[in-house]
């Protein structure tokens, strides 16, 4: 008897203001944690380009964001997401209404791109936010995919 594969890959969208730092970091973690289980996308309500410091701090986690692009949320108008995660208040307020039943989740992470001080202090802020997003991503994975 043939077995039909009725497993549908879940689709996850991480949404931020500019798709440059927080959503890119979450994209990297969730793509790694959910490999083979979900398709992960990230976008912004604007596009600012991927922040080089986000790429740098994710290299410390052995996750390569260097080929990522900054995408606008309108690029995904025809995609039905299972989960839409906003990672800043601005994106939550501006998030367009997607057709479908996607569950919306929100966590307002600090914007590391707004950090000031020495290069070391700025990188430490990026690491702090990265670690917060990593924990959120682990918690999301455990609660929605296990």
CA-CA distance, 122 to 124, in Å (whole number)? 5
Q: Is 21 a catalytic residue?
A: no
Q: Is the pLDDT of residue 6 over 90?
A: no
CA-CA distance, 115 to 99, in Å (whole number)? 36
Question: Which member of 95, 105, 122, 123 is catalytic?
Answer: 95
pLDDT bin (cut points 50, 70, 90) of residue 98 is low
pLDDT bin (cut points 50, 70, 90) of residue 92 is confident
More confident residue, 50 or 94: 50
Q: What sign for the dihedral angle of Cα 59, 61, 62, 68?
A: negative
**Helix (H, G, I), strand (E, B), or coil: what is residue 14?**
strand
Q: Is 16 a catalytic residue?
A: yes
CA-CA distance, 75 to 77, in Å (whole number)? 6
Q: Is the pLDDT of residue 3 over 80?
A: no
Pairing of strands 83-86, 103-106: parallel
The DSSP call for residue 139 is H
Paired with 42 in beta bridges are 14
Burial class (CB in 10 A: 0-12, 13-18, 19+), 16: buried
Q: Is the pLDDT of residue 109 over 70?
A: yes
Q: Is the pLDDT of residue 4 over 80?
A: no
**Mean of pLDDT values over 102-113:** 94
pTM of the model: 0.92
Q: Is the pLDDT of residue 137 over 90?
A: yes
User: What is the reported pLDDT for 96?
Assistant: 60
Nearest one of 33, 9, 63 to 143, comparing CA atoms: 33
CA-CA distance, 135 to 145, in Å (whole number)? 15
Question: Which member of 88, 113, 129, 133 is catalytic?
Answer: 88
Question: Which member of 16, 45, 50, 58 is catalytic?
Answer: 16
Q: Is 88 a catalytic residue?
A: yes
Sheet containing strand 83-86, strands side by side: 38-44, 10-16, 83-86, 103-106
Q: Which domains does the chain show, CATH number per domain?
A: 11-141 (3.40.50.2300)
């Amino acid at each position: 008897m043939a077995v039909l594969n009725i497993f549908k890959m879940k689709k996850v969208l991480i949404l931020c203001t500019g798709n440059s730092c927080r959503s890119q970091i979450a994209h990297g973690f969730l793509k790694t944690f959910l490999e083979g289980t979900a398709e992960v996308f990230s976008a912004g309500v604007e596009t600012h380009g991927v922040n080089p410091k986000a790429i740098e701090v994710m290299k410390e986690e052995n996750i390569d964001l260097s080929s990522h692009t900054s995408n606008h949320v309108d690029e995904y108008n025809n995609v039905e997401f299972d989960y839409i995660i906003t990672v800043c208040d601005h994106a939550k307020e501006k998030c367009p209404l997607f057709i479908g039943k996607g569950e919306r989740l929100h966590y307002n992470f600090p914007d590391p791109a707004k950090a000031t001080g020495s290069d070391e202090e700025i990188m430490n802020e990026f690491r702090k936010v990265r670690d917060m997003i990593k924990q959120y991503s682990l918690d999301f994975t455990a609660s929605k995919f296990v």
